[in-house]
Structure 1
Amino acid sequence: MPIVSFNEVKEESKQNILKILGRRSERVSRWVGYTNGRHRTRYLYFAGAKKMPVMCHKDQAADLEQYCGV
């Protein structure tokens, strides 16, 4: 059974307005990553599967159901 987890990365960037002034911005990228089973999941997706059971950490179960689940 595929094991999935939610991942998050914070990216900082700096934009120079003039040579003296600069503006910093922070962007958060979030995604669902696979620890095991990504090829099987891709095959089932192309084969037409609408649902697939996965395993996740119990703290992330509510988030997985909210964003990806049925």
Structure 2
Amino acid sequence: MTLGAMGMAPLEVAQIYQTLVADGFYSPLLSINAVLDTDGKLLKSYPLKLSNVSMKRFCINYVMLC
């Protein structure tokens, strides 16, 4: 089975491509990196988290053939 052969949400597909293009560096896709109050004070931050994943394991997890 190849990419696109099964129903997936657009965010899941974007996550797959992001990891493949980054040579196996996985970083969860986020649309928000910080939450501020009305005065600009930081309430919550979501820092970038990277991990190097085995491309074979990554492909198996997403039912792809590499």
TM-score (norm 2): 0.30
Larger strand proportion of the pair: 1
From the CA coordinates, give the structure whose radius of gyration is larger: 1
Which of 1 and 2 has higher RCO (CA within 8 Å, sep 6+)?
1
TM-score (norm 1): 0.29
